[in-house]
Amino acid sequence: MALVTEEMVETFQRDGVVLVKGLWKDWVDVIRAGIERNMAEPGPYAAENLKPGEGGRFFDDYCNWTRIPEFRDVIENSPVAGVAAALMRSPTVQMFHDHVLVKEPGTSKPTPWHQDGPYYFVKGAQTVSFWSPVDPVTDATLRCVAGSHRWPKEVLPKRWLAETDFYPDPEAYMPVPDPDAEGMEIREWAMEPGDAVAFDYQTLHGARGNTAATRRRAFSLRLVGEDAHYIERPGRTSP
């Protein structure tokens, strides 16, 4: 069975998000090993996202694929580039960066609602991020607001730990909404290791805390298509 169908492509284009079952089902052990290496040897962008007194651990890190061989292996040899090209309807695919997000058991802090795009120095109509757990997830899965990639104004990016504005010009962005309270159409799935949610950089997304007794380790790859280009932001961007 094909990893991606034309119906999935149409869903991705319309909603900005689609589930890709089994994208990395044959790569789960490799990704797990890479995540453990990343946590043991964090890079310069590594962050701990909990305040003193908050339970659990919420670790994330970016841009390590050039030094972590497991991540490079997934990028260069898994089916992800072909799936990305199909979903974006792009003849070319470029790597942007990798991202690891780990919520240990008992981590109640959610991943805040945000769009990835406003944090970055790249923009385009052809972008895709793949978020894949290497542990079974239900409540702690990724949640995406369908159609938010089409919003005319970007959502104000915030710093996750300090909860301050990422840029000095908040008027250029819309305030962070509350999708649950505002009745927005939220897409979320129970996922098995190796499944992946594919979403546009402009798709609003977040995740609940991990109140389960098991870890929630997730690996993300971000790629861009042929129309991606550099842009200037009001301040220093995320890597």
Per-residue pLDDT of the chain (239 residues; tens, 9 = 90+): 689 999 999 999 999 999 999 999 999 999 999 999 999 999 999 999 999 999 999 999 999 999 999 999 999 999 999 999 999 999 999 999 999 999 999 999 999 999 999 999 999 999 999 999 999 999 999 999 999 999 999 999 999 888 899 998 888 899 999 999 999 999 999 999 999 999 999 999 999 999 999 999 999 999 999 999 999 998 888 88
Please list, in sequence order, all residues whose beta carbon lies within 8 angstroms of the beta carbon of residue 206, skipping any fewer than 6 positions away. 110, 111, 112, 113, 114, 142, 143
Ordered by start, the domain boundaries in the chain are: 6-230
Q: Report whether 225 contacts 127 (CB < 8 A).
A: yes
> What is the model's pTM?
0.96
How far is residue 229 CA from its own chain's centroid?
20
Is domain 6-230 in CATH 3.40.640.10, yes or no?
no
Q: List, in sequence order, every residue forming a beta bridge with 131; answer none if it has no partner.
A: 197, 220
